[in-house]
Amino acid sequence: MTQKPTFILVLLSIAAAVGSAQSSTWNTRISETWTDPSSGLMWAAKDNGKDVSWHQAMEYCSKLRLDGHSDWELATYDELLGIYKQNTKALGENQQPKKHLIEPFTWDIKGNIYLTGDQWSSSLVNDDRGFHPEFAWFLSFNEGRRLYDELSFSYTRRALCVRRPASTSLPTSTNAAPSSSAQEASEETLKRGYWIDPTTNLMWAAKDNFKDVSRKKAMKYCTDLRIGGYSDWRLANIGELDAIYDKSAESPGVNPRSKWHGAEFMAWHVKGNLFLAGDMWSSTLIYDDRGKDTGWGWRYDFNEGREFNGDEAWFGHHALCVRDSTK
């Protein structure tokens, strides 16, 4: 009997917390917008509420007329990251994978903005070869992680619009979320575009090519690459790949969307905080006893730190490019 008052007080505390969150969310939605006091950016009180491709998200924001304003835009990745706040638990909805069911959900976002999925950013993934980008960054306010997907993909992707007062400039820095030295270093490496290994003086591209390609296409991807003003990039050999494996490293990356799961965060055991998204082709060939090319190649798995030599050249893996920084 003596435990009942304590139990009732706990229930009342939980109810009060939920009630407070519901009230704040309701207030934001009534006003249609929320202005971030730390950045001066004005945000729509909710996202678009349905699946959209990247181009559709861009169009939605450009056509938005809200709170007397018509200069809305799809937020950049840095702007989205700026309103992520861990354990905020703002009320919203979420679409359950493959079930097409909408369920109540909480998202870690400032301003009690009402979200219904993962938010596209206007920030494209640079191709670094001068080609038109195929991917764009998006942010999951469930984990606060940098992810990417094809521009045409739409399932559970949303548009969250922002407007920038004339006195407000685009953010130039990010707040890693959740905060960690590895996440911050990864963001810095991505912005620089490369990392130089101090032990070998090899310059590595900050990210791989982000999709499965044959070994021949992996080789061409690297020869076409243009980063840091250099054009002598090449596909790394198996020894070079093995040399940047570090079991203790937890470099933020992505496990790309497949038929079994959506795009999800994954940490890779690679030096330099390189942003990876799969197993890497190497330029190392496999020869038979007569010295003839077998048509098979080596690949490297930075999750397990293992070399594999049983893949035919047409298999799909990723390309990680390197060059000699002393040249």
pLDDT digits (tens, 9 = 90+) for 120-162: 999 999 888 888 889 999 999 988 889 999 999 999 999 999 9
What is the average pLDDT score of the chain? 86
Given 106, 134, 163, the domain boundary residue is 163
Neighbouring CB atoms inside 10 A of 121's CB total 23
Q: Are strands 157-158 and 118-124 parallel, antiparallel or unpaired?
A: parallel
Q: The domain spanning residue 233 has which CATH number?
A: 3.10.100
Domain for residue 172, yes or no? Answer: no
What is the pLDDT averaged over residues 199-222? 95
Q: pLDDT of 169-206, one tens digit each? A: 555 443 334 445 767 778 889 999 999 999 999 999 99
Q: Same structural domain for residues 156 and 207?
A: no
Domain count, the chain: 2
> How many Å apart are CA 318 and CA 167, to the nearest integer?
42
- If one counts every other C-beta atom within 10 angstroms of the C-beta of residue 104, the result is 8
163, 195, 230: which is the final residue of a domain? Answer: 163
Q: Give residue 122's domain range.
A: 4-163
**Burial class of residue 97, CB neighbours in 10 A (0-12, 13-18, 19+):** exposed
Q: Are residues 152 and 291 in the same domain?
A: no
Angstrom distance (rounded) from CA 12 to CA 47? 31
Quick one: pLDDT at residue 167?
60
pLDDT of residue 7: 40
The predicted model scores a pTM of 0.77
**Which residues does 62 contact at the CB level (< 8 Å), separation at least 6?**
72, 73, 74
Q: Provide the pLDDT confidence category of residue 64 given band limits of 50, 70 and 90.
A: very high
pLDDT at 279 over 90: yes
Q: Give the confidence band of 99 by pLDDT, cuts at 50, 70, 90.
A: low
